[in-house]
Amino acid sequence: MLGAALLLTVTLACGDAYPAGSTVRVLFVGNSLTIANDLPGLVRSLAEAGGAVVIVTRDVSQGGYSLEDHWAAAESRDALAAGGWDVVVLQQGPSALPESQASLAQWAGTWAEAIRVQGGTPALYMVWPERARLSAFDSVSTSYRSAAQQAAAQLYPAGDAWQAAWLRDSTLALYGPDDFHPSVMGSYLAALVIYRGITGRDPPSLDIGIPAQLEATLQAAARDVAVAAAPPASARY
């Protein structure tokens, strides 16, 4: 899993996505992998620490939900229809199996179209497989990258960042006690990736009890992974 087969494209942000002083409204649509450790709250806290932009979030995530489930849920659809979202972050399970890959691609596309109608930018938050299926990391990455490309959505590759972090330090405890949901450290790394993807800025450090050396490793891993921007509108049709 962590050998030469892992190919990381290093893409550093070129310029800021939002001018200093901007307020960015972000809707999270996911499941317990977003809820765990209050990932939206971590992203907000990074913005507060950075001071350049303000990030306002709403989270309509529900445990066990897929993007199809969210499309059928009044709360999720109503939240999007309320409008005013600059970015909508979409997440479902690892989606490594063929049928799950097809579902992710289909419903990411459905959500992305609706998000653009509301004037927002769709983004996919790539997650990871459970520890018992570490060999599925590459399939998860392929699934989310393909779905993002088909939906012309941004990609926030947290799962790739987990692998990049382990290449730097294989002892990092990114999984929580159930070996699927993230530890605080795992969620923090995801938040670093998402903050960078939303703002185009290097994320600041947060004092959340992670030792400085490990925090520096997580920051480096977040820089190691590509954040794929959505293509211009002219390339979507």
Q: What angle do CA 232, 99, 63 make, to 5 degrees?
A: 85
25-59 pLDDT per residue, tens = 999 999 999 999 999 999 999 999 999 999 999 99
Lowest mean pLDDT among 15-19, 134-138, 204-208: 15-19
Instruction: Identify the bridge partners of residue 101 per DSSP, sorted by sequence position.
Output: none
Residue 236 binned pLDDT confidence (cut-offs 50, 70, 90): very low
pLDDT of residue 139: 97
Fold of 23-229: Rossmann fold (3.40.50)
Q: Counting runs of H as helices and runs of E as strands, what totals does the chain give? A: 9, 5
pTM (predicted TM-score): 0.89
